[in-house]
Amino acid sequence: PARLPPLRVLGQMAQTYIIAEGPEGMYLVDQHAAHERVLYERLMAERAKMAVASQALLEPLTIELPFQPGIAGGESLEFLNHLGFDIEPFGGDTYLVRAVPAMLAKGDIGQAIVEIVDELTEGGTVELGKERALISLVCHSAVRAGQTLSMEEMRDLIRQLEETAMPRTCPHGRPTMVHLSAEQLAREFGRR
């Protein structure tokens, strides 16, 4: 089934997995992959409305981006600006970043931009490059494996995941969770 049943969060394991139970058994949810899915669908919805939330930086950030034809031609800059960035040329290979997508405000902004531009200019079709760039953005914005989450943060993430159209995979195609049915657990413990 595509949709998730309502899940009850039990805790966190190894600061990486959320343990939850539902009417169909136990779920181990990869917190990073799950958050990527939530952020990806949110970003796609915001892009469809042409309203990606942006966060102005207190101080503009300067970054060096080696010459890339797509950047110099403005196509990559235009795409980045539609994602909620405010980036402008600052001379040579230097660019000035005045705002970033709100979802990225806590991450390593410079590294994220470099990787997003790499994805945009790597090759293949323009649309494939844009898709890779979107996935890179949400990957940099998502909670990390090894990050301790409070019960409230875990509950909130699971609720948001339940509302997504494709809760069982992250945008990279990896599973967001492992499901163990009550029957599987009973067999493992020799109860059936």
Structural domains of the chain in order of their starting residue, each with its CATH number: 8-41+144-188 (3.30.1540.20), 53-141 (3.30.1370.100)
Kindly report the number of other CB atoms within 10 A of residue 38's CB atom: 25
Quick check: helix, strand or coil at residue 172?
A: coil
- State pLDDT tens for residues 23-70: 989 999 999 999 999 999 999 998 888 888 899 999 999 998 875 655
The number of residues in the chain equals: 192
117 φ, ψ to 5°? -65, -40
On average, the pLDDT of the chain sits at 88
158, 20 contact by CB (below 8 A): yes
pLDDT at 4 over 60: yes
Number of H helices, E strands in the chain: 7, 7
For residue 12, how many C-alpha atoms fall within 13 Å in the half-sphere facing its CB?
Answer: 19
Return the amino acid letter for 13: M
pLDDT of residue 70: 55
pLDDT of residue 73: 54
pLDDT of residue 67: 59
- Top pLDDT among 126 and 167 is at 167
Q: What is the pTM of this model?
A: 0.85
pLDDT at 168 over 80: yes
Torsion angle (degrees, nearest 10) of CA 62, 68, 71, 75:
-160
- Top pLDDT among 159 and 75 is at 159
Kindly report the number of other CB atoms within 10 A of residue 172's CB atom: 14
Nearest to 52 by CA among 62, 61, 42: 42
pLDDT at 21 over 90: yes
pLDDT of residue 103: 82
Mean pLDDT confidence for 116-125: 77
pLDDT at 72 over 70: no
pLDDT category of residue 175 using cuts at 50, 70 and 90:
very high
